[in-house]
Amino acid sequence: MVTHILIAIIAICVLILAILVDFLLGDPSPNNPQKYTHKLHPTVLMGKLTRMLEPKLKNPNPKIEKLGGVFLGLIIIIAFTLPVYFGLLLIYTWLGLIFYALVAVIILKLTICIKLETDWAKAAAKALESEDLTEAKKYSHFSRRDSKDLTCQQISSAVIESMAENLIDFKLSPILSYMFFGVSGAVAFRAINTLDGMVGFKDPEHIHVGWFSANLDTIVNYVPARFTAVLIVLASAIIGEDYKNAWAIAKRDHAKTPSRNHGWPMAAMAGALRLQLQKPGQYILGEPTEPLTPNKILSALRIRNTAVILCVLLALPVIMLIRLFFFPY
């Protein structure tokens, strides 16, 4: 029983330390793709392997290409998850719990991205405040849109939408995956999410080969997305934003986005900040009750940070309980 309690305490420390390491070191910026720290990041390696395998699995027959998409998804997930699982198992078995914890912290941190987005959000708000659109446009690509003709308000909207969307993909879902399935679970989620970002589109090039990855990402994010919206509402109540409107807009507008999941946190964020978020030609979320100023980016950042803290606090007792009976590597 003592060993199980120690394992549970170590598991909690791994999560907390992984987040602290991210706050201290962050992630390599994609604006500097030539750096080795960027080239060797697991998410980048997942993307490169996906890009290499995808053409080999294309086929004129849609059914065969969909089957190829299944193989593509499974190969990427297995190629990164199994080495982590068995590697951590061997480290724990032969080197002990402390060495396991050190390696686990590093790997888990690589599935979480908080500091990089924080720095970019602050930089975008600063650039927009000084009306430097050229500088501000560097930070609008989070939401996969062409920044060439974006206005100040559209850039602010893009950054806020991205923070709400990424709250699921790069923060809460990895934490929840770790909570239930350990470090290898967080890595598996990162592989699924990367696959969706690489091939999970409905354009003619990816509609068949990416269907499995897109649907798998939708399934694994189904509960986290709605949980994220709830946390945004709670975070809004804690820091004095409009939590009632956050929930009302989340319920009303979540289905307006192409994604079945990402509309929940984006609509909740729009409601909490009492503003309108939009991707021209695709969706409009919320009401323009208050102007979309650069300061709203910083308000969204405070909501996001509070939601992350709430998620961690809720995860800790669950991690303790699970590790008392089961130790997922």
pLDDT per residue as tens digits for the range 118-152: 999 999 999 999 888 878 777 766 556 666 677 88
- Tokens for 294? 């650069």
Banded model confidence at residue 8, pLDDT cuts 50, 70, 90:
very high
Nearest to 249 by CA among 233, 271, 269: 271
**What is the pLDDT averaged over residues 191-213?**
95
The DSSP code sequence of 197-231 is: HHH---STTTTTTTHHHHHHHHHHTHHHHHHHHHH
CA distance 318 to 308: 16
H/E element holding 256? none
* pLDDT reading at 29 higher than 90: no
pLDDT (average), residues 206-213: 96
Residue 50 pLDDT greater than 80, yes or no: yes
Q: Give yes or no for residue 165 having a pLDDT over 70.
A: yes
- Mean pLDDT, the chain, integer: 93
**Average pLDDT of span 299-327:** 95
Average pLDDT estimate for 244-273: 97
314-321: average pLDDT: 96
Phi, psi of 281 (to 5 degrees): 85, -5
Give yes or no for residue 19 having a pLDDT over 70: yes
The answer to whether residue 32 scores a pLDDT higher than 90 is no
Cα dihedral sign, 49-78-211-66: positive
Give the position of tokens 């399934």.
Answer: 219
Q: What pLDDT was estimated at residue 226?
A: 98
pLDDT (average), residues 220-241: 98
What confidence score (pLDDT) does residue 141 get?
Answer: 60
d(CA 320, CA 327): 10
Answer whether residue 41 shows pLDDT above 70. yes
In this prediction, residues 299-315 reach a mean pLDDT of 98
Residue 145 has a pLDDT of 64
- Which residues contact residue 3 at a Cβ distance below 8 angstroms, ignoring those fewer than 6 apart? none
Region at 217 (left for phi over 0; alpha for psi -120 to 50; beta for the rest):
alpha
pLDDT given at position 143: 57
Res 1 pLDDT > 60:
no
